[in-house]
Structure 1
Amino acid sequence: MKQAETIDEVILLLDQIIEKSKIDQSNLGLFAILYREVTVRIKEGILAGSFQNGERMEKLDVIFANRYLKAYYQYQAKEKPSECWAFAFEQAENFWPIVLQHLLLGINAHINLDLGIASAEVSTVEDIEDLKADFDKINSILSNLVGGVEKCLIKIWPTLTWILKFTGKIDNFFIDFSMETARNGAWKFANEFVAVPENEREACTQLRDQRITEIARLVSNPGYFVSAVFKFIRLFERGTVAQKIIDMQIMEEKNMECVVA
């Protein structure tokens, strides 16, 4: 099972996942691209002294990333990862989810489950509050990137602007899965998890995993109207999965101004 020891190794392993996904025509590469950009920006922030504690932030980033990497390699080996990651990976094999849904499924598992656990692992009950500012910066980076996804949906499909204004239902979909809600829930969970005795953490993790999987099911099936619009988008998507991955990489080089829907 490949695991990273440094932030540079995290980026290297994400690069390998992305390249393999191109070859395999796998949607698993879509979240890996977004996550790579987050990791690069965290690395840049550490080097620039943007975080309160750079050493702790790199440790957190590696522990955080290794949870995703472990889940990914478990799935590749036909082993059972956490339930929410298994659901996200399984959806990557289905035809209907659009790029946005693939990204949100990955974000859901990684922020709502993994980030709280990783934050607790670099903290104690006494000092976890010291992590709050840097914790929020991680989420701010991800939130800014996700914002580009929404803008691109409207840019590529101008009719969605009218639909959104007329019904508000697509907007509600984004609101229901807002990064602010995910961030607050993850921080609350981190504060609860850090106080859990070591021998009870596995059971606590499994319970949280089940709850987060329910959110994943809502992302995958957000109701009749939104699902219908997403299916319409999916039917008219162009290019192979590999081409979508390449397009996303190009967009990242332009600071993720937009993500292909």
Structure 2
Amino acid sequence: MNIKQATTIDEVIQLLDEIIEVSKLEQSAVGLFTMLYREVTVRIKEGIKDGSFQNGERMEKLDVIFANRYIRAYYEYKSKEKASECWEFSFQQAERFWPIVLQHLLLGINAHVNLDLGVASAEVSTAENITDLKSDFDQINIILSNLVVHVEKCLIKIWPTLTIILKLTGKIDNFFIDFSMKTARDGAWKFANEFVVTPEDQREVCIQARDKRIAEIARLVSNPGYFVSAVFKFIRLFERGDVAQKIINLQIIEEKQPECIVI
């Protein structure tokens, strides 16, 4: 299979759209994270246009490198080549029945932010100037952190019973979102600063070691313990629609209810 790669942010959006459409046809849960990631990319594009980032040219370069790591992993998995371990695990979970929408989103966030964002940040920087990226890196995390604010009200449209579940469980979903985002915020920048000073001939080993650690987090998200897993299975039984319909529902949220956009 030809591994497609983008050269501009518009091409990133186009390739993400292609993955979303294939996911709908194949009833693949890969499309859930991809649709949300598309919204992140659109917001970054808008931020570049309106001057929200300190260095728009550098940000587009970072966004393309960042996205291409996900796109490459997707096509590697589709062609039965070995993707990175954390992405391989995420894609495998997308083929299973029991993971709920929230878990699919967290698995994607975990792999893409905890691994890919650090690599991409280092690749647009040098050891001497990576601190100049910090402001724009934080701006990306402001976009990502909106997930905590918006995801609950939007997922209620897919899980009609979610309001009841939240009252009974003390907002378990917020715990998992906060856990994932805290890990991302604390880890991605630290890894970027470590990776940027890693000699070229040692970088692949460094990525592999990081990949294994992030895959361990993915397994925790997938299997969070008996009680939480039981709650998630109950939620799964009451999720509305097939995978394609869930993706469409999230797209309706994006187009018709901007206050509920999930990123």
Shorter chain as denominator, the TM-score bin is: over 0.9
Aligned match for 1:255, one of 246, 253, 258: 258
AA at the equivalent of 1:119: S
Query: 5+ residue gaps in structure 1?
Result: none
Structure 1 residue 169: deviation in Å?
5.0
- Output aligned runs, 1:1-261, within 5 Å: 1-153=3-155, 156=160, 157-165=162-170, 170-177=173-180, 179-253=181-255, 254-255=257-258, 257=260
Q: Secondary structure at the match of 1:158?
A: helix
Distance (Å, rounded) in 2 between the aligned partners of 1:22 and 1:44: 26
Task: Give the TM-score normalised by the residue count of structure 1.
Answer: 0.93
Give the structure-2-normalised TM-score: 0.93
Cα deviation for residue 163 of structure 1 reads 1.8
Q: Quote the RMSD (CA, aligned, Å).
A: 1.6
Structure 2 alignment gaps of length 5 or more: none
Could you say if the C-alpha distance between residues 25 and 146 of structure 1 is closer, same or farther in structure 2, counting changes exceeding 3 Å? farther
Deviation at 1:170, TM superposition (A): 4.9
Q: 1:256 to 1:102 in 2, by over 3 A?
A: farther
Q: CA deviation at 1:147?
A: 3.2
Deviation at 1:51, TM superposition (A): 0.2
Once residues 227 and 175 of structure 2 are traced to their aligned partners in structure 1, the CA distance between those partners, rounded to angstroms, is 11
1:143, distance to aligned residue in structure 2 (A): 1.8
Alignment partners' CA distance in 1, 2:18 and 2:60: 20
State the aligned residue count: 256
Task: Give aligned-pair identity as a percent.
Answer: 72
Any idea what the Cα deviations from partners look like across 1:87-127, whole Å, max 9, x if unmatched?
A: 00000000000011001000000000000000000000110
Q: Is the 8 A contact 2:114 2:183 kept in 1?
A: no
CA contact (8 A) 1:87 1:216 kept: yes
**Cα distance, 1:180 vs. partner?**
3.2
Contact kept? 1:170, 1:226, Cα under 8 Å: no
